[in-house]
Amino acid sequence: MANVYYSKNQENFLLKIKEEIKDNFKNCNKIAIKIHFGEPGNKTAFKPEDIKPITDILNELNINFFLFDSPVKYNSLRDNPDSYKNFAIKKGWGRLGEIRTNDEHIDVKGENLTYEVCKELIDADAVLVISHVKGHVCTGFGGAIKNLGMGALTKKTKGDIHYGGEPVLVGECTQCGACERACPLGTLKVKDKPVFGICYGCSNCVYACPNSVLKTRVNYFDFLLAEGAAVAQSKFKKAYYVSFLKNITQLCDCESDPGEIIANDYGFLASPDGVAIDMAAHGIILKNEGEDVFLKYNKKSGTEQVKAAEKFGMGQSKYNLMEL
Listed by start position, the domains of the chain span 2-161+220-323, 174-216
Bridge-based pairing of strands 2-7 and 267-271 is antiparallel
Q: What is the pLDDT of residue 145?
A: 98
CA distances to 32, 77, 87, 260, 309 from 97, in Å: 11, 21, 15, 31, 31
**Angle at CA of residue 200, ends 140 and 198, nearest 5°:** 125
State the CB neighbour count (10 A cutoff) for residue 190. 17
Measured in degrees and rounded to the nearest 5, phi and psi for residue 89 equal -65, -45
Task: Provide the pLDDT for residue 118.
Answer: 98
Q: Dihedral of CA 254/140/278/321: which sign? A: positive
pLDDT of residue 137: 96
Which CATH topology does 2-161+220-323 take? Rossmann fold (3.40.50)
- CA–CA dist 79, 49 (Å, integer): 24
Long-range contacts from 201-204, C-beta under 8 angstroms, 24+ separation: 201/138, 201/161, 201/162, 201/163, 201/164, 201/165, 201/166, 202/137, 202/138, 202/139, 202/165, 202/300, 203/138, 203/165, 203/166, 203/167, 204/179, 204/299, 204/300
The angle that helices 144-151 and 274-289 make with each other, rounded to 10 degrees, is 130
State if pTM tops 0.75.
Answer: yes
pLDDT along the chain (324 residues), means of 10: 96 96 94 97 96 97 97 92 96 97 96 98 98 97 98 97 98 95 96 93 97 97 98 98 98 95 98 98 98 97 97 97 96
> Would you say 268 and 245 are in contact if contact means Cβ atoms under 8 Å apart?
yes
| Closest alpha carbon to 25 in 121, 120, 127 | 127
SS3 132: strand
**174-216 is classed in which CATH architecture?**
2-Layer Sandwich (3.30)
* Residue 218 main-chain phi, psi, to 5 deg: -125, -60
Give yes or no for a contact between 201 and 165, defined as CB atoms under 8 angstroms apart: yes
Question: Which of 150, 162, 65 has its CA nearest to residue 103?
Answer: 150
Do 2-161+220-323 and 174-216 have matching folds?
no
